[in-house]
Amino acid sequence: MARFLRPLGETLVSRPRTTAHLVAAGVSPYELSGALWTRVLRGTYVWGPGPAQVDEPRTRILAAAELMPKGAAIGGWAALHLLGVLDMDGRTGPGAAVELPVLVCVGPAGRMRRRPGVHVDRSALGPHDLAEVDGVSVTTAVRSCVDIMRSDGLEEGTVAGDAAIRFGAMTRAGLITYVAGVSRMRAIPVIRRAAALVDGRAASRPESRFRVVWVVEAGLPVPLVNCDVVDEQGFLLGVADLIDLEAAMVGEYDGKDHRDLKRHTSDNVREEGFERHNLVVVRATALDLWPRRARLVTRLQAAHRDGLSRDRSRDRWDIRRWTTT
């Protein structure tokens, strides 16, 4: 006799569920081991075949949420993702090859079993640190960024802060105010330095990393971010990803989209325009941010020296001023 699949409720198939939840709802362990269910984290399954679905950030986050105890909250990059900061996808490193665990904040008294793909944090949270998205408790954007700063360091914290402001999840003023009130937290010096460096005008995570290399590793002054550069008549020469006004130094990050022939041609024209008006240009790619970072630092420092020693009488450029927010 042919076997027919019984209908499953929407609540079972719309998001990851724990093994216990699914078995209680009538899904057998045999069915879970078949092709129609895919394991996300240990003890959780999602309806549908294939690793592509499991690799989705939201799927991993909701699987962790199913496992967390009452009173806990999703934190870090995962909280930011649920809050709409979609650039925070839980991946980092060269080629985004490193998958970050989902942070679960259980508080000092909370208990949760450690497992691959999940990191448990027992730091204290106040009511003002919590929000809710689609029924899932999460830490606020500000608290999520602070947790990334103290746990993952200055660079990842700056990347997260830039992204959170870029997507409208928080303001820089709100972050600075929160950090000013923090006194009993690990890595406060790192948190404060990262918060001071955050700038929501950064257009992408690699641009944020480029700025960290510029300031922290090359030791150069904090640059302006995505600033309009104009000629003496006020005509736009281009938007500089980074610019140091004193050294007349422009930093340009070239992502994957810059490989397009039309885009590459436009980049060349813009760079020539900058240089013709007496600006020094340094270009960087993903290779420079990862395996060739030491060389990038040397290039930045050399370009800065060149800019400071330039013939300033040949400067034919200015910027359109904007107000810091």
Burial profile 284-294: b = 16 or more Cβ within 10 angstroms, e = fewer: bbbebbeeeee
pTM of the full structure: 0.92
Q: Are 115 and 104 in contact (CB under 8 A)?
A: no
Q: Which residues pair with 10 in a beta bridge?
A: none
Residue 9 has pLDDT above 70, yes or no: yes
In this model, does residue 257 exceed pLDDT 80? no
CA distance 20 to 27: 10
Is pLDDT at 260 greater than 90 in this prediction? no
Going along the chain, which residue ranges are E strands?
17-18, 37-39, 44-47, 73-75, 91-92, 98-99, 102-105, 118-121, 130-133, 136-139, 224-231, 236-244, 249-253, 280-284, 317-319
Summarize pLDDT for 223-253 with one digit per residue, the tens.
Answer: 999 999 999 999 999 999 999 999 999 999 9
Rounded to an integer, the average pLDDT of 207-224 is 99
- Helix-helix angle 205-212:154-166, to 10 degrees: 140
Rounded distance, CA 192 to CA 86, Å?
A: 24
Q: How far is it, in rounded angstroms, from Cα 60 to Cα 102?
A: 7
Query: 310 in helix, strand or coil?
Result: coil
Asked if pLDDT for residue 7 goes beyond 80, the answer is no
Of 148 and 267, the structure prediction assigns the larger pLDDT to: 148
Residues 169, 319: Cα–Cα separation, whole Å: 28
Our measurement of the distance from residue 44's CA atom to the centroid of its chain's CA atoms, rounded to an integer in Å, reads 26
Q: What percent of the chain has pLDDT over 90?
A: 83
Query: Can you tell me the mean pLDDT for 174-192?
Result: 94
Distance CA 301, CA 288 (A): 14
- Name the average pLDDT for the chain: 93
Token reading at 157: 């914290």
Going by pLDDT thresholds of 50, 70 and 90, the confidence category of residue 50 is low
Q: Residue count of the chain, please give it.
A: 325
pLDDT at 1: 39
The DSSP secondary-structure symbol of 321 reads -
Residue 2 has pLDDT above 70, yes or no: no
Supply 105's token pair: 């904040």
Q: In the prediction, which pLDDT does 263 show?
A: 79
Q: 135: which 2 tokens?
A: 């029924």
Confidence band, pLDDT 50/70/90 cuts, at residue 122? very high
218 has pLDDT over 70: yes
